[in-house]
Amino acid sequence: MEQTTEIGKVQQYLTFLLAHDEYAIELLRAREIIEYGAVTHVPGMPACFRGVINLRGSVLPVVDLAVKFGLTVSEPTKQTCIVVVEASLDHRPTALGVLADEVNQVIELGDRQIQPPPAFGTRIRADYLRGLGEVGSGFVLLLDIDRILTVDELLAASTPEAFADAAPEGGSGMECGSS
């Protein structure tokens, strides 16, 4: 929900932890938060794709942003969840799941509270960021969900052929390689 105040246009963001860092996405892009459960591994998918889940009869790709960003991959805990987000694929909304170590809170940021992404100094590529949101005396990294995955990666995850040989994943589901 957007509103205007003395600090400019205000937007809400959903914050979550990933490898001990706090990230945020626009709240309107987050469709729901679901408990982390069985993810079916799909051979041949990019390493950052954990696999797929069945979400009310639909196949939903699950992306491990820690792998995508080259961060330390955490073992699942009771707080691990999947944030179902809406990304844009060729200007069409596409649902996918994003693995989060823990969802924190919803925050409101005005335009003046958002700084441009730094050219250096973050553990992820600057073009994945919309900016840095000022929260208290610190910052939260605001992700640009449409830039995190390339069109080719999303297409690979969205095609029925990608799921033809899907088999249940063994072990803890944390055996992803780096991208």
Going residue by residue through the chain, which has 179 residues, state the pLDDT in tens, using 9 for 90 and above: 555 555 568 999 999 999 889 999 999 999 999 999 889 999 988 888 899 999 999 999 999 999 999 888 878 899 999 999 998 877 788 899 999 999 999 999 999 999 998 777 677 888 889 999 999 889 999 999 988 876 666 555 555 554 444 433 433 333 333 33
Give CA–CA dist 7/22, Å, rounded. 23
Question: Which residue type is seen at 177?
Answer: G
Confirm whether 33 is domain-assigned: yes
pLDDT of amino acid 176: 34
Confirm whether 178 is domain-assigned: no
pTM: 0.78
Confirm whether 88 is domain-assigned: yes
Which DSSP symbol is given to 121?
S
pLDDT of amino acid 38: 87
Question: Which residue type is seen at 125?
Answer: R
pLDDT of amino acid 143: 95
Q: Which residue has the tokens 């080719």?
A: 152
Residue 76: give the domain boundaries.
3-159
pLDDT of amino acid 91: 79
Pairing of strands 102-110, 92-100: unpaired
Is the torsion defined by CA of 11, 15, 18, 22 positive or negative?
positive
Q: What's the number of domains the chain is made of?
A: 1
Question: Which residue type is seen at 138?
Answer: G
Give CA–CA dist 22/96, Å, rounded. 20
Q: Which residues of 126-145 are buried (b: 16+ CB within 10 A; e: fewer)?
A: eebbbbbbebeeebbbbbeb
pLDDT of amino acid 172: 33
Confirm whether 132 is domain-assigned: yes
Return the CATH number at 123. Answer: 2.40.50.180
Confirm whether 69 is domain-assigned: yes
Confirm whether 165 is domain-assigned: no
